[in-house]
């Protein structure tokens, strides 16, 4: 299971960096047309994404002790989204010792 999670989060990280870079080369994020910003599905998707970010951040708050790290990760997630989340998950997964299970991943540090 740990190996599968490493692969999944590595794929998420690679794809998100690639899509973000590709998008940034084609259009500035500040150039989003008003028709998109006013679209109800765009707004629903943003709410969905940020509630997902918030849920992931609550796991971080449970898991991590350092307030400074929690604050840093909050802003990293808000600004980088799934890129920051995938990096955090990969770091946590690679810190596990051989033989550690998923329960160790969700345990407090």
3-class SS letters over the chain:
CHHHHHHHHHHHHHHHHHHHHHHHHHCCHHHCCHHHHCCHHHHHHHHHHHHHHHHHHHHHHHHCCCHHHHHHHHHHHHHHCHHHHHHHHHHHHHHCCCCCCHHHHCCCC
Domain ranges of the chain: 2-105
pLDDT tens column, 38-60? 999 999 999 999 999 999 999 99
- Rounded distance, CA 11 to CA 85, Å? 12
Provide the mean pLDDT of the chain.
Answer: 93
- Rounded distance, CA 81 to CA 73, Å? 10
Q: 83: pLDDT confidence band, cut at 50, 70 and 90?
A: very high
User: Higher pLDDT residue, 103 or 40?
Assistant: 40
CA count, 13 A, side-chain hemisphere, 54: 6
CA count, 13 A, side-chain hemisphere, 93: 16
What mean pLDDT do residues 10-21 have?
97
């Amino acid at each position: 299971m740990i190996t599968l999670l490493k692969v999944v989060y590595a794929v998420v990280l690679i794809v998100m960096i690639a899509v973000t870079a590709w998008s940034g080369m084609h259009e500035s994020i500040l150039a989003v047309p008003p028709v998109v910003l006013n679209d109800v599905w765009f707004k629903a998707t943003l709410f969905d994404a940020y509630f997902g970010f918030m849920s992931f951040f609550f796991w971080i708050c449970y898991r991590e002790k350092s307030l400074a790290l929690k604050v840093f990760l909050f802003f990293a997630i808000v600004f980088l989204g799934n890129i920051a989340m995938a990096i955090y998950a990969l770091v946590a997964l690679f810190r596990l010792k051989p033989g550690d299970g998923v329960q160790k991943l969700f345990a407090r540090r």
